A and B are shown apart, each in its own frame.
Chain A
Amino acid sequence: MDNLYLTTGQSKFYLNEDTLTKVSNSHAWGYEAYKFYLKFAKTHRYCVPVTAWKSNYELQMKKLDIDVSVDDMLQYAGYDLHPKVTKEKIHRVILFYQQIQIDFLKFSIKHAPQGKYFYHTDLHLQNLVFTTDDDLMLIDPNSFQLTKHVVNTEYVSYFNRLMWRAHMTMERLKNV
């Protein structure tokens, strides 16, 4: 029996042992995108494993044991920094964030239909998480879509945000 685990603005998540079922109420994820996702995730282990595609609005995936999201980790303006934040982790996040965009483009050139690109279209910092095993993972798999634009506008805008927040957090770490 699945239990309601989490509700967000656009989705509900149900938990059954280590499997999460995600039901979206607005965001369709077609079978073609799912197939591309499987291919991408096979060689890019930072993608959350999707175990079943049920419909355009429902998928199942492995539940991750999330330690902290990058968004939480880079909350530099609070009274205290997040206890999990380290310089090493920030370095890893920056490398990771830039590498994923390179991976998307390389994959698209090789596998996507002519004139199309396959990438994650919602790269805000809550969708990057550290697991309790200290792996850095990219979640929200149904944000991977085929598009016709080489520029991933979400990447470009969040990249700037990430760099600013990384910088501010690093400055505060220097003073700890």
Chain B
Amino acid sequence: MYDTKIITANSELSLANKKVVKKITQGRLWPIHNYNLYQRYSEIYPYAVKVLKWIDENEIKMERVNVELSFSDLLEYERDKLHTGVTKERVHRAVMFYQGLQNDFYKFSFEEMPKTSMPSKYFYHHDLNLSNIVFDMNDNIKLIDPNGFWVSDMFVNRSYIVNFNSIMWKAHLTLQRLEDG
């Protein structure tokens, strides 16, 4: 039984106690080869939210992550008051996590893609905005929005680079605010 429905610009999310059904209503579909690669990725890197079932190109069922705060919340340095979940230690972890992500994408691409029929392609998350990375209630970092992962010809992950600059600036300014009390 689903208790809540969230409608975003590109999808509808139906939330139950432990799972979420995501229907893609607009934008890129998620074919099964992306799902298969994603399953392998999330086995190796458990921070990637688990997809429980691929229903079709428009619809997936995934684990529900109980979010405490997103990286976007964590690094809202301009708020009147910083989010109560902000600590220096978390900012450090966020920066390290983000920098490690791109290495994980490449390592996965170099090691796993040659085993497929798309040996020289890359597999990574294409929507790394800071709302898609969250701290859950157990203080684990999770990467959400699994259908943001797809196979690409492009070596450079534009989303990573754009958001890399954003996270570095925001981390710096948030730490400064923490130091200023």
Residues in A lying within 8 Å of B, measured CB to CB: 91, 94-95, 98-99, 101-102, 105-106, 109, 115, 149-151, 156, 159-160, 163, 166-167, 170
Contacts and interface: CB of A to CB of B under 8 A. Distances in A.
Nearest to A155: B168
Given A106-B96, A160-B161, A150 B107 contact: no
Given A150-B175, A151-B171, A151-B172, A167 B156 contact: yes
Interface of B: 91-92, 95-96, 99-100, 102-103, 106-107, 110, 154-156, 161, 164-165, 168-169, 171-172, 175, 179
A94 B168 contact: no
Given A94-B106, A150-B171, A163 B92 contact: no
Contacts of A163: 156, 161
A98 B103 contact: yes
Contacts of B102: 94, 98
Contacts of B99: 98, 101-102, 105
Contacts of B156: 163, 166-167
Given A91-B110, A160-B165, 6 more contacts: A95-B106, A102-B96, A102-B99, A151-B172, A166-B156, A167-B156
Contact of A91 (B106, B161, B179): B106
A95 B96 contact: no
B155 A150 contact: no
Nearest to A152: B168
A173 to B, nearest CB: 10
Nearest to B102: A98
Contact of B172 (A94, A109, A150, A166): A150
Contacts of A102: 96, 99-100, 103
